Amino acid sequence: MKIFKKIAATILFIIVLSLLGGYFYFDQKFTPDKNYLTVEKESEKIEPTWLGIDKNVLLVPIKFPEDTAKYYLQFDTGSEYTEFYYRSIKHLKEIKINNKIAETSFYIGNTKITSDKFKIADTGKETDKNDSIKIIGTLGADILENRKTIINLRENYLVFNLLNQPIEFQNKLIDFKFKRRKIIIQALLKGKSEKFLYDSGTSAFELLTSKEIWKDLKLPNSKIIIEKAQSKHNILTTFTAKSNNTILFKNKVIPLNEVTYVEGFSQTQYMLMKFSGMTGMLGNKIFLKNCIYIDCSENKVGID
């Protein structure tokens, strides 16, 4: 009998050890490096540029101190880092490249952003002086960290490194988590408390979720729109259907008119969703009639 107890205890110990090992592995895997940005001054209002009739991509205009040309970064709150695209910047004199790391300063309005540790992704296309829109990288969630930001999609402007909380958001703020540089907001969907990640990189969608949740939220006879999309190295297939639900953010009700699930995500992306316990990702489309105030210094968010 004692032998069986010892065996059972050993098996239990191995299971607990495996679970702890898995937790620490994924915690370390998804924890971003230290924020390498130096950010100075408030930007004041910046008018973004949208690509596509469905507002598929949200672009932020930037300028370099010694260059009169205007360049763009895709604003992606789902990305942990601000990074440049190698093929787009390799001939730019304003950016010094050394062993897959970039050093430069640039401006978003009045905000100066500097680093000697910008990451470089092996993607993008070479910029041409005749290009009307020169996209050279991604503006990630590191621009939000420990700072106040306004994303006003209703009136089409952004404010970075905001000095003070806007008066219209007094007594309208709710808590959120900025874990691993992910904006995770708790809200009610169909009467249940759920976790949502706000990802401005999934701009053309309202809610990206699992197939099971998609089936539950979509209207029974809704036409399903199937589209192909490129996500870095993956080809994704999206399935979008009409919905008739609402998401309640404490005191703000947001209509959910469409719901989407995706095939083609990498195993890492699936594990991130599962590991974090998120219901899905909210894109810009669901907030096109709203203004969002994000205070990452206090982990407070307001939706007006």
* 51-77 residues labelled b (16+ CB within 10 A) or e (exposed): beeebbbbbbbbebeeeeeebbbbbbb
**How far, in Å, CA of 155 to CA of 229, rounded?**
27
Predicted pLDDT at 54: 83
Task: Enter the pTM of the model.
Answer: 0.85
**How far, in Å, CA of 302 to CA of 216, rounded?**
28
Predicted pLDDT at 250: 85
For residue range 259-276, list pLDDT tens digits in order.
999 887 655 555 556 556
**How far, in Å, CA of 79 to CA of 35, rounded?**
12
| Bridge partners for 150 per DSSP | 159, 293
Predicted pLDDT at 233: 62
> What secondary structure, in 3-state letters, does 27-71 show?
HHHCCCCCCCCEEECCCCCECCEEECCCCCEEEEEEECCCCCCCE
Predicted pLDDT at 131: 76
| pLDDT at position 2 over 80 | no
For residue range 36-89, list pLDDT tens digits in order.
999 999 999 999 999 988 888 999 999 999 888 999 999 999 899 999 999 999
- Mean pLDDT across 132-145: 93
Using pLDDT thresholds of 50, 70 and 90, give the confidence band for residue 23.
very low
Predicted pLDDT at 30: 56
For residue range 100-113, list pLDDT tens digits in order.
899 999 999 999 99
Using pLDDT thresholds of 50, 70 and 90, give the confidence band for residue 257.
very high
Using pLDDT thresholds of 50, 70 and 90, give the confidence band for residue 278.
confident
| Residue of 158, 251, 150, 246 lying closest to 206 (CA atoms) | 246
- Mean pLDDT across 158-170: 93
Average pLDDT, the chain: 85
Predicted pLDDT at 109: 96
Predicted pLDDT at 28: 46
Residue position matching structure tokens 């036409």: 223
Lowest mean pLDDT among 117-131, 148-162, 189-203: 117-131
**How far, in Å, CA of 40 to CA of 43, rounded?**
9
Structure-token pair, residue 284:
């810009």
> How many angstroms separate the first and last alpha carbons of the chain?
65
**Cα dihedral angle (141, 283, 84, 235), rounded to 10 degrees?**
140
| pLDDT at position 128 over 80 | no
Predicted pLDDT at 56: 87
Q: Are 169 and 185 in contact (CB under 8 A)?
A: no
Task: Give DSSP secondary structure letters for the chain.
Answer: -HHHHHHHHHHHHHHHHHHHHHHHHHHHHTPPPPP--EEES----B--EEETTTT-EEEEEEB-TT--S-EEEEE-TT-SS-EEEHHHHTT-TTSEEETTEEEEEEEETTEEEEEEEEEEES------TT-SS-EEEEE-GGGTTTSEEEEETTTTEEEEEESS--GGGTT--EEEEEETTEEEEEEEETTEEEEEEE-TTSTT-SEEE-HHHHHHHB-TTPPPEEEEEEETTEEEEEEEEEEEEEEEETTEEEEEEEEEEEE---HHHHHHHHHHT--EEE-GGGGTT-EEEEETTTTEEEE-
Taken in order of first residue, the domains within the chain and their CATH numbers are: 38-143 (2.40.70.10), 165-303 (2.40.70.10)
